[in-house]
Structure 1
Amino acid sequence: MGRPTERESRFLGLVLSALFMTCLIPYASAAGGGGVIDVSSFSLADYETTEFDTYELHFDIVELLSNDADIEVQVELSSFDGTPFELLSQNITVVSDSTQQVHFSLTSIPYGYTIVEVELLGEVGTPNATQSVALSRTLHRLKPYDISLASEGQVLFSGIDDNGTDTGNVTVHDGDFMRSEIAVLNDGDYPWNGTLSYSLLNEGVYDNQTFPNLTVAAQSSVVVQFNSTFALIEGAAQVSFSLNLSGDGDSSDESREVNISIHPPPLPLMGMSIEYLSTNATAGEVVEWNLNVSNTGTLDFQGTLSCDFGQESVLNIEVMIPVQSASLQSISSTARPNLLVCQLMGMRIDAASNSPFFYAYHIESAAFESAGSNIPAMLDGPWHEGDMVLFSMLIRNHGDFPGHSTLVCETQGVEYSSNPLHLDVDAAGEVSVWVPLSNPGDQAVNWSLSSSDGSIDAGLNGTLLVPVQSQQILTPTISSVSWDAENGIRFSWSVEMSEGIDRQVRIRLGYSDSGFDEYPLDYVVTLEPGVTSGDYVLGFVDTDRVSIRTTPVNWTSGASFTSFSKSVPDERPSYTVDFGQLSVPNRPIPGETGSVTVQIRNGGDVDGTSGYLVLSTQEGKFLGEKTTEVIESNQDLSYSFSFTWPEGTSASLKVTWIVGSQNLVASNTFQSGAVVVEDEAYQPPWVGLFGGIVLAVVVVLGARIYHNRATDSASPSTKQKSNVSAKNRKKHTSTAEKIQIGCPECARQLRVPADYGGLVRCPDCSTRFEVTPRIEADEEEPGKEQDEEPVEVVDEEHDGKKEIHCPECNQSLRIPSEYSGSVRCPACEKVFSAEPSVA
């Protein structure tokens, strides 16, 4: 191929540039949600028990990654050996940042233990310590108890002496007392208590016994023993066992009868001898022996054969040696001067047997003696119960060969050994061992030197008494707990440690949550004897108790309470919110400005915090918002809201007070200013009303002018003045015009004299209100108080209206006479027909 042309070169360059730019383009990726199980919400506790074959399992799944998570939830049921027998699953979508409860109904649960395994598949998150994507719990379905006796072949009989000690015979022989052992079985999951009866018949002699108050735990058995009260005679014997009524519905397995034979009394006659095999062994090398054990008696031997070479156990086995036979056993150890002791145990043998058997072994080897004190030193004191004491001793090898030595201490049946110390000839060194101290007072410790390849001088063993003081005691205490709206819960704590040495202590501070303790603060500190104290701010936690827990680190404290809890004070702000009873004006007109008052209160004994009020209609229309200041204990505050009054005959309002972590809501319905009549609107005759009022004012003024003139020209006679005055009053009463006014509460139309000023009472709602005179009235007699003016209800014949009554609250309403539709009562909002009902 030739060289590319210039055009081809440009094209190739463009292609390479495009590929390079493609690498720079960012790739978009979509991330799904992440769901995990809230472990605390898991309804099934591990090894929870149930009596039923069903179980309702539920738990919460929490979405962590702020995206909807598509998850498959699988629940697998399996037997205790791991064999699955049922699989359930659900596919769910957990909404972003939410928690969704999942529910499974587990059915046909078998008796016994069932493994319940839950796993989330699909879009799962990364759980924390309180979350998981897979959980396993064990559910135990309880089985009714089933009581039975072991079968005849499982009943055991053995020979004992008159003190109840085993004779070691395989069978019961003449002259033996007999121990009878039978197992009482409970195959159910409930404990059983009852009585077991025993009866023995041997050569005409009876032995009847009862074992009262026999308790057998669930899914267990109890072996009951009966020892005969007389020595048995060779021949036949009959033993019977019987349980009282168990109530399990099956009495066939609650009694047993066994026939046995009483044999003559045989005994094994045992002999032991030893053969030394390692004739050229030197100190520290392996040395071997053959032990020969024979039985020349009349009974097979079955028991334990044990051999000890000094403090070392070189043989401990179960052997069975038939009559007129022998057994050869190999024994090995390291060569050193010591004593070999062998013995047979486990059954009675003839007194002529040479058990135990002794064999002394001699060889040149290392030899150990003390290099200072002949007793170990006790270090790291003083000691308290639960501490460790260090035994230490200086030793020297004065033998002919190098060797190893160990310091061995024994207390309360437990043996503790140091690491083997190798010493050359005439070399010295230290052996030491730690021994725990478990009882206060003087604790006895048996000690000795031991060697696997040397001898120990006489006297290098004994018993030491270690003075052990009582355990140091930790006493945690919470002295005070307080709560305030700024910091939440705060408490003062202290830990007192009794006299002794400095100790490391783990201190945990927290609170109780649903019966479980939570400890946000957990640390280890070295405490001196005395009191250590501090304060801890827990914050705003929903709990009624705070707690402190102390734990010794690598030591044991005395008997005391390791934790302390104290109640959190109940005093909290007690918030309430409500509307004022009246609006301003009393009945606001829809579309005009009205206002209501919201009253908030803290009835608690502690100060509260600030918040804010949100006013809206019941339908959710926002009307206003105001911030509330810090409200002290037992304090009331009021806030006024002004807004455009909603449409309708009434306004249903709602106020929400957000304060702290609480949302308090109050509702109220306020009446609007006009009665709404459905299907027809009424227009008052404003022109006629105002014209009538003006005409009445003109007539009254003219009558007043005329009256004044007549008074000026009247006779000065006192009698005539009195008559004229009376006539004027009479004339005024009979000629005064009446005007029409409306009740401000129920809008009822009333008629009063135009010159009357004072209180008026509405006959419908009994509301009293002030009216002012429209014209000047005659002077009243001196000293006479103005009485309440009786009012007249506007006559229906003159205003074209009729009066009806609400069937719910009996409120009087006036509507146009020709109207026959539906009417809404302004007092109770009852809607009813304007037409009278026909009986």
Structure 2
Amino acid sequence: MKGSIERSTAFCIVLLASFSICIISPDHTLTNGQDFGKMSSGDSNSTANFSSSGDSGIAVSGEPAFLGDSLIAAVLVSNSGNSSGSVDLNLEHVSSGQFFSGEKTLISPGSTREIAANFSPVEKGQNFFRWWVSSDGGNISSTLFGEFSIEAYDSQDIFLSLESYEWSDELGLEVSISVILSPGKSRNIDLILSKEHGGATSQLQSISVKLDPGKRDLNFELGNPQLDSIHIEAVPIGWAHSSNSTDSSFMPVELPSLDPSMLSVEATFSPEMPTSGERVVAKISLSNSNEFQAEAGKVRVIHSSDKTILAETSVQSVNPGSTVTSDVAVQSWPGGDRIELEVQWSTGEVSSEKFFSVNSQVEDPLIDVPFDIVSAGFGILAGSMSIMVGTLIWRAVSTRTPTTSDEGLRETKERSESQSRKEKSEISCTHCDQRLMVPSGHVGAVRCPSCTMEFKVGVAEESKVVVRSKEDILNCPECDQALRVPIEKRPVMSRCPVCKIEFMAESEVM
């Protein structure tokens, strides 16, 4: 009896030990001799039965492998059951325990499907992996698990460099770059070019390139962008480069210089003859005859007499051979019968200006009177005529005396007119050629009522100031204002619209 009890106790201990081993052993660590189908619950007549298709085993694609590469492991799985089921492929790196899993794949009864999982080598050298196929409810054959190994090399290096840039008439900005890929596999990358302007960054171009090991030179044509610098970046597609790589490059860019003489400014004013204090709109046209783009800038309307900025606005960039029109509002028109203006266009480091003279209307002040002005005007006219008639009659009566005759009166009148002619002389305005009568012997300034300009008579003529330059632009000798006098028209007398001084403009001998 005692021996029977001891044998029963030993049997229970062995049974409990076997049960514990079954509980703690994970599915993917079972030995080669075990049958996964026996571990699945349920009736095999109503389930999916999965097994490896033939002796294909697991296949790995993407070798030779480099650290950071994405590889693919795949296996063919057949369903010999009578029910559909889903399976997935699982991988585990033996030394690190890193786990990889593929997507679940539905397999119909009698069908064979390839199931796959993406994975990457974890360390340089030999990498050992366990693999197994799992299912939510189907029976798994012992042929759907195992081990494999791959050899991994150091990640490949990539070196990206912006070599140079050049501005051309036809293509604008051309950028040259070089890319070096270390020995190994051919690689796909995205090259992204960006610009920085005014603190903001924006993308210019993006292209995909397949690189072979070695050096490759590439050129990019970017047109005429507004920028301060250019940046390029290489982005690997499906792989990772080494930490020693240079995957980006930066280079400051200088915009091409513009010729100010190839920039022109035109303006019209509405209304054409404004009054003091009135709002005036200037329609300004900016033309760029340069071979490069004029970047965004500003337009100013300046009162020439005191350099007051009457209006200012920002204008867009102007492409080569293009014209841009912008409206600028002068909120309060200055007073005067003729206003001298300067319209100035500033773009980058250069500027272009043009001077305009605008006639203005001078309004008479309105007087509010408590009577009808028209009636009062007629009354004044009638009274004036009465006075004139009375005066003529009185003079006729008072001047006829017994000793006075018609012949004496005529002689006195002729002598008076001759004396009057002798007292005045005729001269010509030096500005508009208007004929003027001035007192004989007058010395000093004379103001022309036609052009309102002043000039001197009766004084010795001052020697003319001569200003020379090698280009169309020269400076006023009095106020240093920049003036445009074309070379082909010189020598010519010129007049500064600001200080009104006249001088001789000549070409400087080369």
TM-score normalised per structure 2: 0.40
Please state which structure has a larger fraction of its residues in strand.
1
Please state which structure has a larger fraction of its residues in helix.
2
Question: Which structure carries more relative contact order (alpha carbon 8 Å, separation 6+)?
Answer: 2
Bigger Rg, structure 1 or 2: 1
